A and B are shown apart, each in its own frame.
Chain A
Amino acid sequence: AQSVTQPDIHITVSEGASLELRCNYSYGATPYLFWYVQSPGQGLQLLLKYFSGDTLVQGIKGFEAEFKRSQSSFNLRKPSVHWSDAAEYFCAVGARPAAGNKLTFGGGTRVLVKP
């Protein structure tokens, strides 16, 4: 069974600074990988996804993530954070193939942005 670990529960970053959120997964083959963002009081929105090909994936809102097979990681980055990026971020992994397309989520990282 697959699993996802997000080691950082909270991260505080200054507006304009860079941001990196860590995600490590456990799965026996190449997985499908996702990052979602949840703003306060909202559902989850897909930021980006990786299935195959180029290991550097671009997403919405200026985010990118890099798949590193050797480290079983899929870290999310943004070069310059805006106050609106304050939210909770979830990494998720899907198996290939997955009955019903189930995803397994990490525990989430809450990002606070200081002015």
Chain B
Amino acid sequence: DVKVTQSSRYLVKRTGEKVFLECVQDMDHENMFWYRQDPGLGLRLIYFSYDVKMKEKGDIPEGYSVSREKKERFSLILESASTNQTSMYLCASISDRVSGYTFGSGTRLTVV
């Protein structure tokens, strides 16, 4: 089975800190995604990447950036964390649209 691993389950950071959320997949998938999940809003796409060093903005990219230096790793960066970025962050990867996404377990980030 494909595995998508998010390095932290829970994080607490201070306002203004630079935050890195890491995601690694082990099946050579080309497409990787970062979503945030908030109650009542479902999942909203922040950024995605369809190849190494390639990235595209999703629906809510403001306040975030991403890095994909290696195929298996896709990092989400909060340049200066703010309290409104407190959320559950989910990483996913996919080989093709027929297969559907494989999700990581999520990182619950609290910004205080």
Contacts and interface: CB of A to CB of B under 8 A. Distances in A.
Interface of A: 4, 6, 9, 32, 34, 36, 41-46, 49, 51, 90, 92, 94, 97-108
11 contacts: A4-B42, A42-B106, A43-B106, A44-B43, A44-B90, A46-B101, A90-B43, A101-B97, A102-B48, A103-B45, A103-B101
A43 B97 CA distance: 19
B94 interface: yes
Interface residues of B, number: 27
Nearest to B94: A101
A43 to B, nearest CB: 4
Interface string B20-56: 0000000000010101000011111100111000001
Contact of A98 (B43, B97, B101): B97
Q: Is chain B's interface secondary structure helix, strand, loop, or mixed overall?
A: strand
Contact of B56 (A6, A32, A100, A107): A100
A49 B100 contact: yes
Contacts of B31: 100-101
Contacts of B105: 41-43
Contacts of B45: 102-104
Nearest to A96: B97
A105 B48 contact: no
A44 B41 contact: no
A23 to B, nearest CB: 11
A101 B30 CA distance: 10
Contacts of A46: 100-101
Contacts of A104: 45
A104 B44 CA distance: 7
B29 to A, nearest CB: 10
A101 B41 contact: no
Contacts of A92: 43
Nearest to A90: B42
